[in-house]
Amino acid sequence: MPDPLVIFDTTLRDGEQAPGFSMRLDEKLQLARQLDQLGVDVIEAGFPIASEDDADAVRQVATSLTRPVIAALARCAPGDIERAAAALAPAKRRRIHTFIATSDLHLSRKLRMTREACLDAAVAAVRLARTHTDDVEFSAEDATRSDPDFLCRVVEAVIDAGATTVNLPDTVGYSVPDEIAGFFRTIIGRVPNADRATFSAHCHDDLGLAVANSMAAIGAGVRQVECTINGIGERAGNASLEEIVMVTRVRPDLVPVETRVDPSHLFATSQLLTELTGEAVQANKAIVGRNAFAHEAGIHQDGMLKDRRTYEIMRPEDVGVTQTTLVLGKHSGRHAVQKSCERLGLTSLSRRDLDEVYRRMITLADRQKHISDDDLRAIASEVVGAAARGTTEQAGSRFGA
């Protein structure tokens, strides 16, 4: 049996921090309810110490939802943790997620803190968080650029202090898959009490490798991934939830985990986020982009018409998309034009008519990117009209008109 993979959604926290993606309280609640329907395990609802609005958002989400774990972020500081605990008080299932940077770069340049002070702060924070909940997650910010020996000391200490999840983020998207797999194997293998915690990956997409790194981490023993809808987040974003979920669905032969996410809600969730933020998904985005199940090239369209498996590794309905789209354009073939005409009820066209419709469609497609249904109807009408006029003229000539 495959292991369960915990899906930790941070769209409402890390995702919302990205420029252009901020949401009002009512919008956060709407998206949180959709994430609940999607079936994510953990919803990180905000960073309560950041503002009263963030604290209220966590409180409202915690009040409204009962199935998922509701998490709140807190630095390794008593005030942060107390604020997070207060915001999470209404939650049926709650998690305090506390973090501190462990890389020498962050410690010396940002925090102005020694390694020992960092270790002490991490342990104290986890212990304080455990007085409020049994579910405590610790994150070592910039973990992948941290000294392995020091990081192992921190991880062992926070697990002893009561952390039940240990998240080791690739905070700046610096790693590559082989490297991050080796990183997690090393840490998990060297920490003597590693079996007492779930290890988590939080990968950023600065080099376009967030999903690949997350999958490599899973292969190395990670059983929680932190991700966002549409991959939104700081800078280039986070690992895309929909891509991770569908990798586990499409390649169970290679990925030894399964999620509780219902993929049929992926597209609707992506669309809701787009509506709430006004930020469109790129057309070629995997799983939920406009072109993810669209085909224009004639060779591809011909294959799809014969057997969709020739060019699609998942069904559109699996992720909540209505159907595959055969897009008419200058690369399309005759079979796609014929199928599009049939779909529009243009079934009386002769083979010669269809050839002429195809020729005119290609000519029009050279002037505009795509051919709409209205364009195709207009072309077919012109072709049928021209054929009728030609028949009338021939008949008139034959009888001396």
Instruction: Let me know whether 340 and 270 are in one domain.
Output: no
Q: How far apart are CA 219 and CA 261, in angstroms?
A: 19
**Rounded Cα gap, residues 291 and 286, in angstroms:** 8
- CA distance linking residue 360 with residue 379, whole number of Å: 7
The answer to whether 6 touches 12, Cβ cutoff 8 Å, is no
Where the chain has pLDDT below 50, the residues are: 395, 398-401
187-210 confidence digits (pLDDT tens): 999 999 999 999 999 999 999 999
Contact 35, 60 (CB under 8 A): no
| b/e 364-397 (16+ beta carbons within 10 angstroms → b) | bbeeeeebeeebbeebbeebbeeeeeeeeeeeee
Per-residue model confidence (pLDDT) at position 399: 42
Instruction: Please indicate, yes or no, whether residues 117 and 244 belong to a single structural domain of this protein.
Output: yes
Q: At 227, which CATH number?
A: 3.20.20.70
Question: Could you tell me if 330 and 182 lie in one domain?
Answer: no
337: tokens are: 């034009």
Q: Compute the distance between CA of residue 7 and CA of residue 240 in angstroms, rounded to an integer.
A: 11
Amino acid 325: pLDDT = 87
pLDDT tens column, 208-250: 999 999 999 999 999 999 999 999 999 999 999 999 999 999 9
DSSP string of 360-396, one letter each residue: HHHHHHTTSS-B-HHHHHHHHHHHHHHHHHHHHHHHH
What is the value of pTM for the model shown?
0.91
Domain count, the chain: 2
State the Cα–Cα distance between residues 121 and 101, nearest whole angstrom: 11
Same domain, 199 and 100: yes
What is the residue range of 203's domain?
3-277
User: Does the residue 155 lie in any domain?
Assistant: yes
Q: Confirm whether 208 is domain-assigned.
A: yes
Looking at the fold, whether 273 and 348 belong to one and the same domain comes out as no
209 inside domain? yes
Same domain? 200 vs 150: yes
Q: Supply the pLDDT for residue 298.
A: 87
CA dihedral 184, 36, 273, 291 (to 10 degrees): 70
Please report the beta strands in 47-203, taking only residues with DSSP state E, as ranges in sequence order: 69-75, 94-101, 136-141, 165-167, 198-202
Q: Are residues 10 and 155 in the same domain?
A: yes
C-alpha span between 41 and 227 (Å, rounded): 12
Quick check: is 91 in a domain? yes
| pLDDT given at position 348 | 83
Burial of 130 (0-12, 13-18, 19+ CB in 10 A): middle
The reported pLDDT for the residue numbered 347 is 85
Same domain, 263 and 136: yes
Is residue 243 domain-shared with residue 183, that is, in the same domain? yes
Q: How far apart are CA 241 and CA 5, in angstroms?
A: 12
Q: Are residue 11 and residue 159 in the same domain, yes or no? A: yes
User: Are residues 272 and 299 both part of a single domain?
Assistant: no
Residue 385 counted as domain residue? yes
Whether residues 100 and 243 fall in one domain: yes
DSSP readout, 191-203?
Answer: -TTGGGSEEEEEB
Question: Does 136 reside within a domain?
Answer: yes
